Amino acid sequence: MIQNKNDYIEYLNRDRIALQVSNNTFSNKLRNLFFPNPVWKFQRLMRKLEYYVNCKNIGIYKFYILYLRYRYRLISVKLNFSIPINIFGPGLSIVHYGTIVINYTSRIGANCRMHACVNIGASGGEIQGPILGDNVYIAPGAKIFGNIRIPNNTAIGANAVVNKSFEKEHTIIAGIPAKVIGSVDITKLIRHE
Protein backbone atom coordinates (compact mmCIF):
# COMPACT_ATOMS: atom_id res chain seq x y z
CA MET A 1 0.00 0.00 0.00
CA ILE A 2 1.25 3.49 -0.84
CA GLN A 3 2.32 5.22 2.39
CA ASN A 4 4.42 8.16 1.13
CA LYS A 5 5.59 10.02 -1.99
CA ASN A 6 8.50 7.61 -2.55
CA ASP A 7 6.10 4.63 -2.52
CA TYR A 8 3.88 6.47 -5.02
CA ILE A 9 6.80 7.05 -7.40
CA GLU A 10 7.99 3.44 -6.97
CA TYR A 11 4.52 2.01 -7.69
CA LEU A 12 4.17 4.17 -10.82
CA ASN A 13 7.60 3.18 -12.08
CA ARG A 14 7.04 -0.54 -11.51
CA ASP A 15 3.57 -0.36 -13.14
CA ARG A 16 5.07 1.44 -16.15
CA ILE A 17 7.74 -1.24 -16.52
CA ALA A 18 5.16 -4.03 -16.16
CA LEU A 19 2.98 -2.46 -18.86
CA GLN A 20 6.06 -1.87 -21.04
CA VAL A 21 5.25 1.83 -21.41
CA SER A 22 8.27 3.92 -22.32
CA ASN A 23 8.66 7.68 -22.03
CA ASN A 24 12.38 7.77 -22.77
CA THR A 25 12.39 9.04 -26.35
CA PHE A 26 10.67 11.94 -28.03
CA SER A 27 8.79 9.59 -30.41
CA ASN A 28 7.42 7.57 -27.46
CA LYS A 29 6.29 10.75 -25.71
CA LEU A 30 4.62 11.93 -28.91
CA ARG A 31 2.90 8.57 -29.44
CA ASN A 32 1.68 8.57 -25.81
CA LEU A 33 0.33 12.09 -26.31
CA PHE A 34 -1.71 11.28 -29.43
CA PHE A 35 -2.44 7.59 -28.82
CA PRO A 36 -2.47 7.14 -25.04
CA ASN A 37 -2.68 3.69 -23.52
CA PRO A 38 -6.05 3.71 -21.67
CA VAL A 39 -4.94 1.04 -19.17
CA TRP A 40 -1.82 3.03 -18.29
CA LYS A 41 -3.98 6.13 -17.88
CA PHE A 42 -6.26 4.14 -15.54
CA GLN A 43 -3.37 2.76 -13.49
CA ARG A 44 -1.73 6.18 -13.13
CA LEU A 45 -5.01 7.64 -11.87
CA MET A 46 -5.53 4.68 -9.53
CA ARG A 47 -2.07 5.16 -7.98
CA LYS A 48 -2.62 8.93 -7.67
CA LEU A 49 -5.94 8.36 -5.90
CA GLU A 50 -4.31 5.80 -3.59
CA TYR A 51 -1.55 8.28 -2.74
CA TYR A 52 -3.94 11.11 -1.90
CA VAL A 53 -6.38 8.91 0.05
CA ASN A 54 -3.59 7.26 2.06
CA CYS A 55 -1.27 10.23 2.57
CA LYS A 56 -3.11 13.53 2.06
CA ASN A 57 -6.66 12.88 3.29
CA ILE A 58 -6.95 16.15 5.27
CA GLY A 59 -8.22 19.68 4.75
CA ILE A 60 -8.53 21.01 1.22
CA TYR A 61 -7.15 17.76 -0.21
CA LYS A 62 -10.51 16.12 0.54
CA PHE A 63 -12.07 18.12 -2.29
CA TYR A 64 -9.28 17.06 -4.65
CA ILE A 65 -9.83 13.44 -3.59
CA LEU A 66 -13.53 13.80 -4.49
CA TYR A 67 -12.49 15.07 -7.92
CA LEU A 68 -10.02 12.17 -8.35
CA ARG A 69 -12.72 9.68 -7.31
CA TYR A 70 -15.05 11.17 -9.92
CA ARG A 71 -12.41 10.85 -12.66
CA TYR A 72 -11.54 7.34 -11.48
CA ARG A 73 -15.17 6.29 -11.68
CA LEU A 74 -15.51 7.71 -15.21
CA ILE A 75 -12.46 5.88 -16.56
CA SER A 76 -13.46 2.68 -14.71
CA VAL A 77 -16.87 2.69 -16.40
CA LYS A 78 -15.28 3.48 -19.77
CA LEU A 79 -12.84 0.52 -19.50
CA ASN A 80 -15.41 -1.73 -17.76
CA PHE A 81 -13.29 -2.12 -14.62
CA SER A 82 -14.66 -2.43 -11.10
CA ILE A 83 -11.38 -2.19 -9.19
CA PRO A 84 -11.25 -0.54 -5.75
CA ILE A 85 -8.10 1.28 -4.68
CA ASN A 86 -5.42 -0.22 -2.41
CA ILE A 87 -5.83 -3.76 -3.77
CA PHE A 88 -2.67 -4.27 -5.86
CA GLY A 89 1.00 -4.15 -4.99
CA PRO A 90 3.50 -2.52 -7.36
CA GLY A 91 4.13 -3.88 -10.84
CA LEU A 92 0.50 -4.33 -11.90
CA SER A 93 -0.07 -5.15 -15.56
CA ILE A 94 -3.67 -5.19 -16.78
CA VAL A 95 -3.13 -6.55 -20.27
CA HIS A 96 -6.46 -5.58 -21.90
CA TYR A 97 -9.39 -3.46 -20.96
CA GLY A 98 -12.67 -5.31 -20.57
CA THR A 99 -14.71 -6.69 -17.71
CA ILE A 100 -12.66 -6.96 -14.51
CA VAL A 101 -14.46 -7.10 -11.15
CA ILE A 102 -12.56 -7.20 -7.85
CA ASN A 103 -13.95 -7.24 -4.29
CA TYR A 104 -12.74 -4.43 -2.02
CA THR A 105 -11.48 -6.92 0.62
CA SER A 106 -9.20 -8.77 -1.81
CA ARG A 107 -5.44 -8.23 -1.69
CA ILE A 108 -3.05 -8.92 -4.54
CA GLY A 109 0.74 -8.75 -4.22
CA ALA A 110 3.43 -7.29 -6.44
CA ASN A 111 3.88 -8.06 -10.13
CA CYS A 112 0.38 -9.26 -10.94
CA ARG A 113 -0.37 -9.73 -14.65
CA MET A 114 -4.09 -9.92 -15.35
CA HIS A 115 -6.22 -10.33 -18.47
CA ALA A 116 -9.84 -9.41 -19.24
CA CYS A 117 -13.00 -11.05 -17.86
CA VAL A 118 -11.46 -11.76 -14.44
CA ASN A 119 -13.60 -11.83 -11.30
CA ILE A 120 -12.06 -11.85 -7.83
CA GLY A 121 -14.46 -11.72 -4.89
CA ALA A 122 -16.01 -13.02 -1.72
CA SER A 123 -18.31 -16.02 -1.62
CA GLY A 124 -21.45 -17.23 0.12
CA GLY A 125 -22.04 -14.35 2.52
CA GLU A 126 -18.41 -14.03 3.51
CA ILE A 127 -16.86 -10.59 3.61
CA GLN A 128 -13.20 -11.44 3.02
CA GLY A 129 -12.09 -11.93 -0.57
CA PRO A 130 -9.05 -13.84 -1.84
CA ILE A 131 -5.47 -12.95 -0.95
CA LEU A 132 -3.04 -13.52 -3.80
CA GLY A 133 0.73 -13.49 -3.39
CA ASP A 134 3.44 -11.86 -5.49
CA ASN A 135 4.12 -12.76 -9.13
CA VAL A 136 0.67 -14.10 -9.95
CA TYR A 137 -0.45 -14.48 -13.57
CA ILE A 138 -4.23 -14.50 -14.11
CA ALA A 139 -5.37 -15.65 -17.56
CA PRO A 140 -8.57 -14.44 -19.28
CA GLY A 141 -11.87 -15.43 -17.72
CA ALA A 142 -10.50 -16.68 -14.39
CA LYS A 143 -12.88 -16.60 -11.42
CA ILE A 144 -11.27 -16.50 -7.98
CA PHE A 145 -13.61 -16.34 -5.00
CA GLY A 146 -13.91 -17.04 -1.31
CA ASN A 147 -11.73 -16.47 1.74
CA ILE A 148 -8.79 -18.25 0.10
CA ARG A 149 -5.05 -17.77 -0.43
CA ILE A 150 -3.04 -18.19 -3.60
CA PRO A 151 0.76 -18.46 -3.09
CA ASN A 152 3.51 -16.46 -4.74
CA ASN A 153 4.68 -17.42 -8.25
CA THR A 154 1.41 -18.98 -9.41
CA ALA A 155 -0.25 -19.02 -12.83
CA ILE A 156 -4.04 -19.28 -12.97
CA GLY A 157 -5.34 -20.72 -16.25
CA ALA A 158 -7.98 -19.35 -18.59
CA ASN A 159 -11.57 -19.74 -17.35
CA ALA A 160 -10.39 -21.43 -14.14
CA VAL A 161 -12.75 -21.38 -11.16
CA VAL A 162 -10.60 -21.12 -8.05
CA ASN A 163 -12.59 -21.62 -4.84
CA LYS A 164 -10.03 -23.17 -2.49
CA SER A 165 -6.60 -22.23 -1.17
CA PHE A 166 -3.35 -23.58 -2.57
CA GLU A 167 0.00 -23.74 -0.81
CA LYS A 168 2.67 -24.83 -3.29
CA GLU A 169 4.46 -22.11 -5.25
CA HIS A 170 5.54 -22.29 -8.93
CA THR A 171 2.38 -24.08 -10.01
CA ILE A 172 -0.24 -23.75 -12.72
CA ILE A 173 -3.80 -23.83 -11.41
CA ALA A 174 -6.57 -24.52 -13.92
CA GLY A 175 -9.92 -26.22 -14.41
CA ILE A 176 -13.40 -26.14 -12.93
CA PRO A 177 -12.95 -26.47 -10.00
CA ALA A 178 -9.30 -25.49 -10.15
CA LYS A 179 -6.51 -27.91 -9.33
CA VAL A 180 -2.76 -27.98 -9.82
CA ILE A 181 -1.99 -29.17 -13.34
CA GLY A 182 1.73 -28.50 -13.55
CA SER A 183 4.67 -26.35 -12.62
CA VAL A 184 5.72 -23.04 -14.13
CA ASP A 185 8.62 -20.62 -14.32
CA ILE A 186 6.53 -17.53 -13.64
CA THR A 187 9.20 -15.12 -14.91
CA LYS A 188 8.31 -16.20 -18.47
CA LEU A 189 4.69 -15.10 -17.94
CA ILE A 190 5.35 -11.92 -15.97
CA ARG A 191 7.78 -9.48 -17.51
CA HIS A 192 9.67 -7.16 -15.19
CA GLU A 193 13.13 -5.67 -15.09
More confident residue, 188 or 63: 63
Across 32-53, average pLDDT:
91
pLDDT at position 193: 41
**Mean pLDDT computed over 84-88:** 96
d(CA 84, CA 129): 13
Q: Is the pLDDT of residue 20 over 50?
A: yes
- Count of other CB atoms within 10 angstroms of residue 151: 19
How much of the chain, in percent, has pLDDT values that exceed 70?
95
Q: Where are the domains of the chain?
A: 5-80, 99-188
Buried-exposed string 19-36: b where 16+ CB fall within 10 A, e elsewhere:
bebeeeeeeeeeeeeeee
User: What's the mean pLDDT in 117-138?
Assistant: 92
Superfamily grouping for domain 99-188: Hexapeptide repeat proteins (2.160.10.10)
Q: Is 115 in contact with 108 (CB distance < 8 Å)? A: no
**pTM as predicted:** 0.89
Distances (CA, A) of 114 to 95, 111, 192: 6, 10, 14
pLDDT at 190: 66
Confidence of residue 191 (pLDDT cuts 50, 70, 90): low
- Range 105-110 average pLDDT: 96
pLDDT surpassing 50 at residue 40? yes
> What's the pLDDT at 37?
86
1-5, 68-72, 187-191 — which one is most confidently predicted on average? 68-72
Tell me the pLDDT tens digit for each residue of 49-84.
999 999 998 889 999 999 999 999 999 999 999 999
Mean pLDDT, the chain, rounded, equals: 91
Least confident of 84-93, 163-172, 178-187: 178-187
3-state secondary structure 75-112: HHHHHCEECCCCCECCCCEECCCCCEEECCCCEECCCC
